[in-house]
Structure 1
Amino acid sequence: MTRIVFIGAGSVVFTRQLLTDLLRFPDLPELDIVLHDIDAERLEVARGTAEQVSARLGRPARIHAALDRRAALEGADFVVNMVQVGGIAATRIDLELPASFGLRQTIGDTTGIGGVFRGLRTFPVLSAIARDMRELCPDAWFLNYTNPMAMNIWWMSVVAPEIKAVGLCHSVYWTVNDLCELVGVPLEETVYRAAGVNHQAWLYQWEHEGESLYPRLRERIEADPELRRRVRVEMFRRIGYYPTETSEHSSEYLSWFLRDDAQIERFRLEPLVYLGISEDNVREFEDARAALAEGRELELHEEGDAAEYAPQIIHSMLTGTEREIHANVINRGLIANLPEGACVEVPARVTSAGVEPIAVGDIPVQGAAHNRTYLSVAELAIEAARTGDRELVKRALLVDPNAASTLSPERLWELADAMLAAHEGVLPSTLGGRAELVLP
C-alpha cells in the first residue's frame, strides 16, 4: 500500500486542500495516509479533517496520526513537507522587528530578511527529516511546500543530495490563469512555460493557436491606467517578461518599490500584509477545530479548481498518467545562464518514473540578472548555516535589493544582530542558536 506522509499536517487548511485534491482522483488505490505534527491539538484536528474528507468523498483510506516523526516516516513512498518553524510568533518577528528599523516587507517568507531567517530556522528541521529519510525511507520522494522554497530545496541538496527532493508552488499556474482571464482566452487553449527562480520565474512562452499573447496583454495594459499601478505590470513593462508571483511578493525582490512612500502608494502596496494573512490562517484553524467538535461539515474547495501539484505527482506516479507542471529543482544543466547547483524553477514532466525537469537553455538575460541577485542571497544564507559564520548572514542581507536600498550597512548589521537574538531558540546551533543542526 502506498504510504504518504504529511509533515507539518497541523497546517490544517492546507492539509485539507491536499487531501481533497488527492482523494478526488477516482482511479487511485487505497492509500496509507500518515499525518505528523509536533502540536498534539493541531494533529488531532488534522486527523479529524482527513477522516471527514475521506468519508465525504467516498474514498476509503487508512489514516494515522503520529507525533513521532520517525514512526511516521518509516516505509514512506512520498513525504509532503509543509512545516512552519516557529509559527505565527516567528512570523511576527520576521516582519515587525525589521519594520521597527524602517525596513518594509509585505510577505517576508521567501526573500529579504524575513526569508533569510525563515530559511535559517527551517534548515535544522530539514536536516533532521533528511537524516530520518536516509534510514527509514531512502527511496521516497520529498515534496516540499515550505518557504523559502529555493533555499530549502538547495539546502536539501547540500545535506542529502541522494534524496529526491522537489519544491512545489502553484504560482506559475495561477499567474497564467489570471492573465488568460485578462486577455479573454481560455487557459486550456494556451501553451505556457516559465523558468527562473521560485516567486521570480519569467513567463517565456505564452501562446494561443501558435501566436504569442504578449501583444494582447500590452494592449490591455495600455488601455487601463489602473493596471499600470500593479508591481508585476511595472516589472513586465521594464523587463519585458511577466513574473510569476503576486505583486505584493514581487515587490520584495527588487529595490524599486518598498523603500519609497510614493512608490508604495502608486503601486497600492501594503507593508506587513502577511501578518493579516497569518492571523486569518489561525482563525481558519480555530474554525475547523470548532466545526469538527460540533460535527459540522468542513468547507471543501470546488472540484473544478486546479489540483495542487503534490496530488498530481502522486497520481501520475501511481497510474502512469503523464502531465507537465513547474517544479523547483537543482540546476543541473537546466538553465544555462543561472548558477549550476542552485535551485531553479523550470517546467517538468511527471510520469510513472517521477518528476523529470526540462532543460530550457538560457532564459531572458535581463530576467536571469535579477534571479542571480536572489540566488546570491540564498547562497550566502546556506553557507552561513553550513559554516556557522554569522557574518555571512549579514552579508546576505547586504546583497538583498530591498534591504540594501532601505538601510545602511551599519543599520543592517544592527538589525541582523537583533534578529539573531530574537530567533535564538530556533536558529541552527552552528550560528549560536539552540536548534541542533545535523550536517553530513
Structure 2
Amino acid sequence: MSFKIAIIGAGSVGFTKKLFTDILCVPEFKDIEFALTDLSEHNLGMIKAILDRIVEANGLPTRVTATTDRRKAIEGARYIISCVRVGGLEAYADDIRIPLKYGIDQCVGDTICAGGILYGQRNIPVILDFCKDIREVADTNAKFLNYANPMAMNTWAAIEYGKVDTVGLCHGVQHGAEQIAAVLGAKSPRELDYVCSGINHQTWFIDLRLNGRKIDKDELVAAFEAHPVYSQQEKLRIDVLKRFGVYSTESNGHLSEYLPWYRKRPDEITRWIDMSDWIHGETGGYLRYSTETRNWFETEYPQFLEAASKPIDASKRSNEHASHILEALETNRVYRGHFNVKNDGVITNLPRDAIIESPGFVDRFGINMAAGITLPEACAATCMASINVQRMSVHAAISGDIDLLKLAVLHDPLVGAVSTPDEVWQMVDEMVVAQAQWLPQYAHAVPAAKERLSKSTVKTREWAGAARRNVRSIEELRAEKAALKQAV
C-alpha cells in the first residue's frame, strides 16, 4: 500500500514518534509517506531526524518529509492527524495563572473550565483553517483524526463548521480499563470486556465483565479501596464511583475539574487529590509536567536520537487508536475502539448535536458506532453540564462573540461554583487581552476589554493554588530518574 499521512503539530516530538512507530507496525504500511508540519522549524528538524533514523535502522522504504508549509503537507494526504497546541506553553501558562487570581484552581485546564474554554477559542480558528486545506487539497476521501484538546470542542467545530470527515481520538478509556483490570486481579487487560460511553474525559464504564463475569459496583469499590496505590491516587474517582455507581475514565485530577464539588474550596482540594504525580490533582500539574518534558527533551535530545536506532518491536505497539483505525480502514481487519463523533442518537439521553465518546467498530466501510446506549441519569446530567458549555464555547469561537464566551465560562461547573458573574466577566476580559495574538476572532473586542479592565473594581489576588509545585530543573530530573533506576 502507498498513501500519505500528514501530521500537523508534528513538533510534539514524543507523541509523533509513537504514532509513527505504531503505524509502521502494520506490515502493509511500510511504503507510505509521512508529511510532517509544524510552526517550529527547530522542532521539525528534531523529529525528522528521529524518524529518519528509525527508517534507516529498520531498512524501510518509508518516506518522511518535513515542512512549515501546512498546505503542502496536507496536499494529497489520505489521513491528516492533528496534535497541535495553539499558543504553546506561553498561552497555556495564562490558562492556569489568570483563573487562579479569581480562585479557580485547575489541574490541567484543557477540556472545559476557564483554561479549556480559552484553549478552544485559540484552537478552533486554526482547526477550521486545517479543514479548509483538507477540503481543497487533500485526498478526496481524506479523514481528519484529531488528537488535540479540547477534544469535544475541536471535533465539534471540524464536523459542524469545517465540513470534513472527522473523528476525535483519546486514550482515557484504555487507561481506565487498565486500572480496572489491575484492581480486579486480571492477568491482562484483555480479560476485561466493557462498554464505556459518555463524552470525552467524562466517559463512564457502564458495563464491566471480567472473563465473562459481570462486575457490579460493590465489587469494584472494594477492589479499588483495597489497592495499595489506586486507593490513594484515585480518592475522588472512587468517591464518584460510590455515589454514581460507575467508574469514570478520567484521571483524578482531570475529573476534579469537570465537577462543581471537589475543587471549589482550597481546604477541600487537598482532601481529594494525591501529590505523587501531576495527574492526580496538583495545581497546574500538566503545565509543570509539560514544561519539564520540553526542557528534558531539549537537553537530552542525543539520547532520544540514539534510541531511534533500535528495531521497531511490533509487540510494543501502543493502544493509541490511530494506527488501528488506519489498519482497519485499509486492510478490513476489524477494530473495536472508543471514538469521538457527533451523537446523532447513539447515546439516547444526550443531545444529537453533542460530540460523544462511545464504542464503535472500524472496517473498510468506515467507523460504525454502537447505537442505542443510555447512560445512568447522574452520568448524563454531568455530561449535559459540559455539553452546554462546549456548545456555547464553539459558537463563541466561530462568531467572536465575547459576551457569549463569558456566558460559556459562567456556566462552567467549577467556575460557577467558585466565581461571581462580575469576576467571570473581568477574568474573561483579562484572558482575551493576554492571549489576543492567538484570538483573531476577538480582535474587535480587545480595545473595549482593555478599557473595562482599566476601570474595574473587582478584586483579585496573586495565588499559586492549593497544591502547586515548582518546575524541576534538569539536574533534579536526572537525580530522580537515577534514583528510580537504582530502586528497580
Structure 2 gaps of 5+ residues are 274-280, 447-488
1:355-385, Cα deviation, whole Å (9 max, x unpaired): 2222143211210100000011111111112
Matches within 5 A, 1:4-43: 4-43=5-44
Relative distance call for 1:246 and 1:222 in structure 2 (3 A) is closer
**From 289, 292, 306, the counterpart of 1:296:** 306
Q: Which moved more, 1:86-95 or 1:298-307?
A: 298-307
CA 1:279 to 1:354, structure 2 compared with 1: closer, same or farther past 3 Å? same
Matched, 1:259 2:264: yes
Aligned: 1:203 with 2:205: yes
**Which residue of 1 is the match for residue 141 of structure 2?**
139
Q: Is 2:115 the partner of 1:111?
A: no
* Residue number in structure 1 paired with 2:231: 227
Match in the other structure for 2:221: 218
Equivalent residue, structure 1, for 2:65: 64
CA 1:265/1:218 → structure 2, altered by over 3 Å: closer, same or farther?
same
Q: CA deviation at 1:56?
A: 3.1
Q: Pick the structure with greater CA Rg.
A: 2
Q: 1: CA distance between counterparts of 2:341 and 2:267?
A: 37
- Percent identity (aligned): 32
2:195 to 165, 177, 193: 193
Give the alignment's TM-score, normalised by structure 1. Answer: 0.93
Q: Deviations over 1:329-378 (max 9, x none)?
A: 01111111111111110111011222222214321121010000001111
1:192 shift after superposition: 1.0
1:281 paired residue number:
293
Distance 1:72 1:252, change over 3 A: same
Correspondence list, 1:346-385, <5 A: 346-385=358-397
Contact 2:224 2:231 in 1 (8 A): yes
- Residues 141-198 of structure 1: CA distance to partner in whole angstroms, max 9, x if unpaired? 100000000000001122123x110000011011011111111023112211211100
Query: How far did residue 298 of structure 1 move?
Result: 4.0
Are the structure 2 counterparts of residues 76 and 288 from structure 1 closer, same or farther at C-alpha, using a change threshold of 3 Å? farther
Runs of 5+ consecutive residues of structure 1 not aligned to the other structure:
435-440
1:438 aligned residue: none
- Report the 3-state secondary structure (helix = DSSP H, G, I; strand = E; otherwise coil) of the residue aligned with 1:356: strand
| 1:169-184 alignment runs, 5 A limit | 169-184=170-185
Q: Which moved more, 1:237-246 or 1:306-315?
A: 306-315
Match of 1:399 among 411, 420, 432: 411
1:287 is displaced (CA, Å) by 4.1
Q: Is the 8 A contact 2:57 2:309 kept in 1?
A: no
In structure 2, the residue matched to 1:437 is none
One-letter code of the match for 2:19? L
C-alpha separation in 1, matches of 2:63 and 2:48: 11
User: Cα deviations across residues 64-112 of structure 1 (Å, max 9, x unaligned)?
Assistant: 1111111111111000001110101011000011112221000001110
Partner residue of 1:243?
248
Asked whether the 8 Å contact 2:116–2:150 carries over to 1, the reply is: yes
Cα distance in structure 1, aligned partners of 2:9 and 2:219: 42
SS of the residue 1:270 aligns to:
coil
Paired residue type of 2:306: R
Q: CA deviation at 1:409?
A: 1.1
Partner of 2:449: none
Query: 1:250 offset after TM fit, Å?
Result: 0.4
Counterpart amino acid of 1:103?
Answer: I
The 3 A distance-change label for structure 1 pair 288 and 17 is farther
Determine whether 1:79 maps to 2:80.
Answer: yes
Q: Is 2:49 the partner of 1:44?
A: no
Q: Deviations over 1:28-74 (max 9, x none)?
A: 34111110111111111111121122233443301111111111111
- Residues 1:219 and 1:133: Cα distance change in structure 2 (over 3 Å): same
Which amino acid is the alignment partner of residue 338 of structure 1?
L
| Matched pairs, number | 431
- CA distance in 1: counterparts of 2:440 and 2:376, whole angstroms: 37
Q: What is the aligned partner in structure 1 of residue 154 from structure 2? A: 152
Q: 5 Å matches for 1:290-439?
A: 290-291=302-303, 296-298=306-308, 303-304=315-316, 306-430=318-442, 432=444
Return closer, same or farther for 1:277/1:433 CA change in 2, 3 Å cut-off.
Answer: farther
Task: Give the TM-score normalised by the residue count of structure 2.
Answer: 0.84
User: Quick one: which amino acid aligns to residue 79 of structure 1?
Assistant: I
CA deviation after TM superposition for structure 1 residue 296, in Å: 2.5
